[in-house]
Structure 1
């Protein structure tokens, strides 16, 4: 049996998205059918629409989502119909070399649903990050469902499915920020603001926010930034050093993902400090650093995959911290919109007017 629902589809690179009828099959072995309640509009979806991630059009967009499990396929034991879940795009396999070594957050064989969702004419859809949640229902691997408190607001906790988790995890898991550290975050959109919140949660004594947009710097202050640097008016490296007794920050997180911003992160850290790349570059970007500088400055240069998170471990904890008032996830939701408003939301995101637009179904 197939379920006919509405979904946001990108047919070709650079073209506006369309809201179309799609077919979602009943779950097969290891799969779950989820009634989507809310899904954030993430920059990764715009990358898909622009052809910056792949060319497997048409894409079913959307991946920062929460909803209720409607049905499960054979062999599924971790979730059942009625469970409230946040979706994730790294369902660990439990069998690859990383999982066997006790590092499931780096799983090299993550799972997605095997059956395709399609257009009504049978054309297979490529779901964004294996999820495709700009739809009334979606089909995922059961391991992509993480149960959290059902009293949670889907529009808020669904954002843990990508950007908010990526930022918080870059600070808490990848770096990791230690109590008393100085931290700088370059780029204060959704991911950068989450990194600031994560650094604050971890006990950083100083959190320096860097951006070219005064509006984003205001957001950063709301999430715990102690110092603000407008990179249009000051050199970020020199400004960060000036705020850290001339030595640089213990941790610098690049939430933009461009060669120039990563160079800033590399040189703005203290000797033996840590630079973390969590912003997603495009395939054409290249980084040129003097190898002697990589050697002589010591420390660590890290990339952060999804905030190095383990959804089953991290999502419930962050939801609980939010409910305790220790991290303000509500502040990431700028607006709540309908499926038909996704294209306009992309424009607002591109102009830097929102942290997150969230589709509510």
Structure 2
């Protein structure tokens, strides 16, 4: 099988700075696609991989929020062909697991990935982040991970749908079932939280309350559709949300931080029979304690949103159409364009809260 040598961003050890090194990418075999990456966002999940917070299967080929053009396909591939502009999805429903067979492919428990391994130059196999690995010029994925969308979309904006933007939008629209006239609170206004705000606005929410500890992020939130903002270092978040909703709390509270303190805020900030959606990714060591009578007495739903409960083949093209119609400002999520050698610096900018998304442009 022919092999392609390209440059890729690799994390070799827990906490160590990432490196730009030669990697080997095989041509696609059955059911696979080789994609030439045009742009890839720097997501907090990539930093989780570098820090060993996902698993310890080093070395990792980082990057997963990507858009590009199909270069080659293997045998028995019918959903895409060379030249197609695609967004890469880390969920590609298998069609055969118990969730898919129940008609819930957005919860697929056996999502498809490429069977061949990308490797370092010495042949050591790489673990691609979220089954993608797109901080490189070419990446190998299962063909069903490549979702064809309108090629007139900007690759920088389109790639962000592949993870963070879809997670936030889906947390509101799919998991939270935000509807016309609803009130929503979003706690944590980074990329995912602001996408949840944008999704709530698209879904017709009447009141959208953004909560954060950073006034700069709250200003971003207003741009995405927040009707009210709360700096929780200056006022109690739950009291403020209740005051803005007639003392009742919101219909849907979306926690986009992944922290016990902010989850408890979301829990108490919702109205009776309201919904809490956890989309922030917590540290595995974190725990939460709630009075069981409050869980019972408040009713409603406590949900976790996996990838915005999305179905990529349904949702990616729809969101790109909304973007091209001017109804979803994906460009506003792009804080800066960077080169493939600038990922480590982008992690530092992310940790300082200076950006929504740095995007690697190939």
Report Cα offsets for 1:64-116 as digits up to 9, x if no partner: 00000111111111111111000000010011121112111111110111111
Match of 1:221 in 2: 222
Indicate the SS of the match to 2:9.
strand
| 2:207 equivalent in structure 1 | 206
1:74 aligned to 2:75? Answer: yes
Instruction: Report the secondary structure of 1:138's partner residue.
Output: strand
Report the counterpart of residue 92 of structure 1 in structure 2: 93
- C-alpha deviation, 1:52, in angstroms: 0.7
How far did 1:283 drift?
A: 1.1
Aligned to 2:146: 145
Any unmatched runs of 5+ in structure 1? none
Aligned residue pair count: 361
* Aligned twin of 1:283: 284
What is residue 113 of structure 1 aligned with on the other side?
114
2:315 match: 314
* More divergent stretch after superposition (37-46 vs 279-288): 279-288
1:134 is displaced (CA, Å) by: 0.3
Report matched runs for 1:180-259 at 5 Å: 180-259=181-260
Question: Residue in 2 aligned with 1:358?
Answer: 359
SS at match of 1:185: strand
Partner of residue 3, structure 1: 4
* Alpha-carbon distance in 2 for matches of 1:58, 1:98: 31
SS at 1:345 equivalent: helix
CA deviation map 1:289-340 (0-9, x unaligned): 1111111110000000000000000000000011111111110001111000
Q: Does 2:164 correspond to 1:163?
A: yes
The offset of 1:285, in angstroms, is 1.0
TM-score by length of 1: 0.99
SS in 1 for 2:161: helix
CA distance in 1, matches of 2:199, 2:221: 12
Kindly provide the CA deviation profile for residues 111-162 of structure 1, in whole angstroms up to 9, marking residues without a partner as x.
1111110000011100000000000000001110000001111010100000
Match of 1:305 in 2: 306
Is the partner of 1:161 in helix, strand or coil?
A: coil
CA distance in 2: counterparts of 1:227 and 1:41, whole angstroms: 28
The reply on whether 1:38 has 2:39 as its aligned counterpart is yes
Q: C-alpha separation between the residues in 2 aligned to 1:239 and 1:57? A: 44
Aligned alpha-carbon RMSD (Å)? 0.6
CA distance in 2, matches of 1:323, 1:213: 30
Aligned-partner SS, 1:318: helix
SS of the aligned residue for 1:178 comes to coil
Structure 2 match to 1:102: 103
Q: Is 2:53 the counterpart of 1:52?
A: yes
1:170-216, Cα deviation, whole Å (9 max, x unpaired) = 00000110100000000000000000000000000010000000100
- 2-structure distance, mates of 1:335, 1:257: 25
TM (norm. structure 2) is: 0.99
**2:65 aligned residue:** 64
Write out the 4+ residue segments of structure 1 that deviate beyond 3 Å after TM superposition. none
